[in-house]
Chain A
Amino acid sequence: MTIERAVSPAQRAIQVLGDDLTETTLKRYLEGIPGIDAVGLEQRAAGLGTRSIKTTSKAWALDRIIELIDLTTLEGADTPGKVRSLVAKALLPDPSDLSTPRVAAVCVYGDMVPYAVEALGAAHSAGTDEGVNVAAVATAFPSGRASLAVKLADTADAVAAGADEIDMVIDRGAFLSGRFGQVFDEIVAVKEACRRADGSYAHLKVILETGELNTYDNVRRASWLAILAGGDFIKTSTGKVAPAATLPVTLSMLEVVRDWHRLTGEKIGVKPAGGIRSSKDAIKYVVTVAETVGEEWLQPHLFRFGASSLLNDVLLQRQKMKSGHYSGADYVTID
């Protein structure tokens, strides 16, 4: 199998691998990347997790975490009402404290995009830097088991409905059986499906589903592959498979992003998703980002948390920092 060439988002692969881009050259490149020692990686992640973030640093981190959240609902039972409620929460996370920042985006299934856009109204960023984005999961999320045509239609549909960001899943089956070219081509094709009528693109987050890739070496290869194919963000998980985001997995992806930046000067985003529920955990991620790729990554176009319950824990911590005492679950809104 050969890889599609000449499509613009694959420019990165051509830039790094040269003009004769084939599955063989891609495979050789990915397999030539230095390995990861699991014990060492986990040790480093644990070390970063012991940073003690207090007082002013903690206050800053809590606010920034809110600004980095993709507030998510991805249930079969989702309804327009549920999505409207989620959007309301995104715009006004804590009605008792109007200084609370807004989240970065709401993340929903493709068919819910019109309701999210409508509910956001003027607060929808719609391609600008101001406001809240709408992210849609696509490409037969979460399993990705559908034909390419269906995946592309799924993507185009969400973009047409006004999604600013597309969270696609890679074909893990193809990746694990060594068909890197197929995974690559799909990402390139989905990236093209993100193109809007005016020629601009919805941001593409590529979900690796690290829990199914199993090894850190696989995670690293998949991260490189997703970046080479044109992903704007690499994302750990769908949240539907355990384990979802872990600190070592996220650290290994951040290291790829750092190396890509060293190589090309280009900044790629990272999104851990699933399983991050407490402020304490989220702060560990913030520390890991700052100490691995640098503080400039702590902004919504370069780092996101995919989470739903995290927001309320951050709000509780925020209230505690202001009042000096803990309130309780009934002092933050369910959604």
Chain B
Amino acid sequence: MTFLEYAPAPESTAILNLKPEYGLFIGNEFVAAEGESFSTISPATEKEIARVANASAADVDRAVAAARKAYDKTWSKLSGRDRGKYLFRIARLVQERARELAVAESLDNGKPIKESRDVDVPLVAAWFFYYAGWADKLDYAGLGGNPRSLGVAAQVIPWNFPLLMLAWKIAPALAAGNTVVLKPAETTPLTALLFAEIVQQADLPAGVVNIITGAGETGRALVNHPDVDKVAFTGSTEVGRQIARSTAGSGKKVTLELGGKAANIVFDDAPIDQAVEGIVNGIFFNQGHVCCAGSRLLVQENIHDDVVERLKNRLSTLRLGDPLDKNTDIGAINSAEQLQRIRELSDIGEAEGAERWTAECAIPENGFWFAPTIFDNVSTSSRIAREEIFGPVLSVLTFRTPAEAIAKANNTPYGLSAGIWSDKGSRILAVADKLRAGVIWANTFNRFDPASPFGGYKESGYGREGGRHGLAAYLKGAK
């Protein structure tokens, strides 16, 4: 045995108290659904974790009706200060149950426990704390005095950050005085269902938060429901387009947070070791299942070889395996379907002539896994430089001048995020000014804060989440 084969350090699942089957959470109660239930599995073992309900159109009706009733009768009439109290209570309960939520998230999603424990769950609590503070200060949200809530919000969230995306959606909606019906992704409903228990614990008025599980059909029924005033969606650009089409002319307010193909630009005067860390964090964080992932590395040509060599050395130290092991860096791919897509696009990359390099690591027998992979000498026209792979696959491109870096970075249908690495402050500001991306990180990557707005340009969607700007998605001016 070598020291670097660290002995297993698994986080115990004993803290979980899961039910074998979960219903829909409507009006603060778990109720049975009309449709056939489906199972949610652990992507690391392919074993079933629990059965969850599949909400039909009638179930969606019930959930929206509960949300409407809660909006009309209680939530819209509460003072901002009282809404804030509930949100603070939720935030504290999230902190109290942090370990349990982290274990459930890693189990259901496949992400490493160190990420769910140190990133996802702390951010969830931070989001609720942040928007709890806004609830009684909406006069300062930038919409003039006495802004009004919208009503019932239909929220559909993805599987990459299940609980965090829930917090991004629910916290500002409730702070602004809306009630919500939220649908988690079909592969990752577990933490949303645990959150439903937290809603009960917090004694939120019945119907303010409703959580319904199901697949695409359920989501479609929800966003197209006539009694919904607001649609918030995070997910693929394809589904985002459908939602934009189907809600057009309906009067519903819509925010979409969609795909990305972020450029991570490394200049030759960058702090090189930290840049390598940032590249790793940019694309291999959460197995690359991050819409704002730095999936296109743009590195200045004169330092290309050095950076790529350092990157390969660093990737060789990443540990792939059991998401619940505290030393795991790369967990499981969330679903067989996603794994298939990553494999397909990687094969295309190879076929199109890019140079493929994969870190050597043992792949577990069961479950869905993809070893960290770099494609070098990728051309701008290659599909792996254009399309979102949403996996641990990095495309390396080079540039010669800042102008070329900016042009290549912007040459994408997306515009969610970008990164700049340079020791020269003036260069960072000048380049950031010309990048068309909603979030730009300088000498860091994939850092999130509830006070900072997040959202995209072009096909990455519209509207902003987080910060004061995030409130505007759930409010209208008093007129």
* Minimum distance in angstroms from A252 CB to a CB of chain B: 8
Could you say which of A49-57, A207-215, A231-239 contacts chain B? A49-57
Does B273 belong to the interface (CB within 8 Å)? yes
Q: Give the secondary structure class of B's interface.
A: loop
**B8 adjacent to A40 (CB under 8 Å):** no
Q: With A35-B423, A57-B3 as known contacts, state yes or no: A52 contacts B9, CB within 8 Å.
A: yes
Q: Which residues of B1-32 have CB atoms within 8 Å of chain A's CB atoms?
A: 1-9
Separation in Å of the B426 CB from the closest CB of chain A? Answer: 15
Does A255 contact B273, Cβ atoms closer than 8 Å?
yes
Interface string of A261-299 (1 = CB under 8 A from B): 000000000000000000000000010001100010010
**Contact partners of A295 in chain B: CB under 8 A:** 2-4
Could you list some 5 contacts between A and B, CB below 8 A?
Answer: A39-B443, A51-B327, A53-B7, A295-B4, A298-B3
Given A51-B327, A52-B326, A40-B3 contact (CB < 8 Å): no
Which residue of B has the minimal Cβ distance to A36?
B271
A60 CB–B CB distance under 8 Å: yes
- Per-residue interface assignment for chain A, residues 120 to 153, with 1 indicating a CB less than 8 Å from any chain B CB and 0 otherwise: 0000000000000000000000000000000000
Q: Are A37 and B3 in touch, CB under 8 angstroms?
A: no
- Give the size category of B's interface with A: 20 to 34
Contact of A41 with B9 in the complex, beta carbons under 8 Å:
no
Q: Are A39 and B444 in contact (CB under 8 A)?
A: yes
B6 and A53 contacting across the interface, CB-CB below 8 Å: yes
Interface residues of A (CB under 8 A from B): 34-37, 39-41, 43-44, 50-58, 60-61, 64, 255, 286, 290-291, 295, 298
Select A57's contact among B7, B272, B275, B278, beta carbons within 8 Å.
B7
- In Å, the complex CA distance between A163 and B4 comes to 34
How far is the CB of B282 from the nearest CB of chain A, in Å? Answer: 12
- How far, in Å, is B4 (CB) from chain A's closest CB? 5
CB neighbours of A44 from chain B (8 A): 273-274, 277
Bound: A286/B3 CA distance, A = 9
B232-276 vs A, CB cutoff 8 Å, 1 = contact: the mask equals 000000000000000000000000000000000000011111110
How many A-B pairs have beta carbons closer than 8 Å: the answer is 74
- For B270, list chain A residues within 8 Å (CB): 34
Identify whether the interface residues of A are mostly helix, strand, loop, or mixed.
helix
A43 touching B277 in the complex, CB below 8 Å, given contacts A57-B3, A58-B7, A291-B4? yes
Q: In the complex, are the beta carbons of A56 and B444 less than 8 A apart?
A: no
Which residues of chain B have C-beta atoms less than 8 A from A60's C-beta?
A: 1, 3
- Interface: B114 (CB within 8 A): yes
- Is B355 part of the contact surface with A, judged by Cβ < 8 Å? no
Give the Cβ gap from B42 to chain A, nearest Cβ, in Å.
21
**Which B residues are CB-close (under 8 A) to A53?**
6-7, 9
B118 at the A interface (CB under 8 A): yes
Which single residue of chain A is at the shortest CB-CB distance from B114? A50
CB distance from A217 to the nearest CB of B (A): 9
Contact A54 B273 (CB under 8 A): no
A51-B6 in contact given A37-B271, A41-B273 (Cβ < 8 Å):
yes
In the complex, whether B377 has a CB less than 8 A from a CB of chain A is no
Find chain B residues with CB under 8 A from A41 CB. Answer: 273-274
**B317 in the interface, Cβ–Cβ < 8 Å?**
yes
- Report B345 CB to chain A, min CB distance, Å: 29
Q: Which of B4, B8, B118, B443 contacts A290 (CB 8 A)?
A: B4
| Given contacts A52-B9, A291-B317, A40 and B4 within 8 Å (CB-CB) | no
A51 to B329, CA, bound (A): 10
Residue numbers in A under 8 Å from B275 (CB-CB): 40
Which B residue sits closest to A43, measured CB to CB?
A: B277
> Shortest beta-carbon distance, A49 to chain B, in Å?
11
Report the separation of the CA atoms of residues A251 and B6 in the bound assembly, to the nearest whole angstrom.
20
Contact between B6 and A57, CB atoms less than 8 A apart:
yes
> Which 3 pairs from chain A and chain B are nearest by CB?
A40-B274, A52-B9, A52-B326
Whole-angstrom CA separation of A43 from B276 in the bound complex: 13
Q: Specify the chain B residue showing the minimal Cβ separation from A33.
A: B272
Which residues of chain B are within 8 angstroms of A298 by Cβ–Cβ distance? 3
Contacting residues, chain A, for B6 (C-beta < 8 A): 51-54, 57
- Residues of A within 8 Å of B274, CB to CB, are 36-37, 39-41, 44
- Please, which residues of chain A bring their CB within 8 A of the CB of B423? 34-35, 37
Given the known interface contacts A50-B114, A54-B8, the answer about A61 and B271 at a Cβ–Cβ threshold of 8 Å is: no
Q: How far is the CA of A298 from the CA of B2 in the complex (A)?
A: 11
Complexed CA–CA distance, A291 and B316 (Å): 10
Bound together, the chains give a CA A34 to CA B443 distance in angstroms of 13
**CA A57 – CA B277 in complex, angstroms?**
25
A39 contacts across to B, CB distance below 8 A: 274, 443-444
Please give me the residue from chain B that is nearest to A44 by CB atom.
Answer: B277
Could you tell me the distance in whole angstroms from the C-beta of B173 to the nearest C-beta in chain A?
A: 32
Q: Is the CB of B2 within 8 A of A40?
A: no
8 Å CB contact of B327 from A36, A52, A55: A52
CB distance from A35 to the nearest CB of B (A): 4
Residues of A within 8 A of B118 (CB): 50
Q: Are A290 and B271 in contact (CB under 8 A)?
A: no
A40 contacts which of B5, B7, B277 (Cβ < 8 Å)?
B277
CB of B372 to closest CB in A, whole Å: 15
Q: Chain A residues with Cβ under 8 A from B5's Cβ?
A: 57
Give residues 271-292 of B contacting A (CB, 8 Å).
271-275, 277-278
Q: Could you tell me the distance in whole angstroms from the C-beta of B422 to the nearest C-beta in chain A?
A: 10
Select from chain B the residue with minimum beta-carbon distance to A220. B273
What chain B residues lie within 8 Å of A57 (beta carbons)?
Answer: 3, 5-7
The answer to whether B326 touches A37 (Cβ under 8 A) is no
Residue of A nearest to B8 (CB): A54
Kindly list chain B residues whose C-beta atoms are within 8 Å of the C-beta of A56. 1, 7
Bound-state CA distance A295–B118 (Å) is: 27
Q: Which residues of A contact B2 (CB under 8 A)?
A: 295
How far apart are A256's CB and chain B's nearest CB, in angstroms? Answer: 10
Determine how close the nearest CB of chain A comes to the CB of B279; give it in whole angstroms: 11
* Residues in B neighbouring A50, C-beta threshold 8 A: 114, 118, 326
Produce 1/0 per residue, B302-324, CB < 8 A to A. 00000000000000010000000
Complex Cα–Cα for A56 and B9 (A): 11
For residue A280, give the distance in angstroms from its CB to the closest CB of chain B. 14
Task: Give CA–CA (A36, B114) in the complex, Å.
Answer: 25
Residue with the greatest number of chain A CB neighbours at <10 A, chosen from B114, B271, B273:
B273
B327 / chain A contacts, CB cutoff of 8 Å: 51-52
Query: What residues on B are CB-neighbors of A43 within 8 Å?
Result: 277, 444
Residue on A with the closest CB to B443? A37
In the bound complex, CA of A39 to CA of B442 (Å): 11
In the complex, which residues of chain B have a beta carbon less than 8 angstroms from the beta carbon of A291?
Answer: 4, 317
Cα distance A41–B443 in the bound complex, in angstroms:
11
* Chain B: CB-nearest residue to A255: B273
In the complex the two chains form, is B278's CB within 8 Å of A40's CB?
yes
Q: Report A-chain residues with C-beta under 8 Å of the C-beta of B8.
A: 54-55
**A34 and B4 contact, CB distance less than 8 A:** no
- Identify which of A43, A44, A57 gathers the most chain B CB atoms within 10 Å of its CB: A57
Do B443 and A40 have beta carbons less than 8 Å apart?
yes
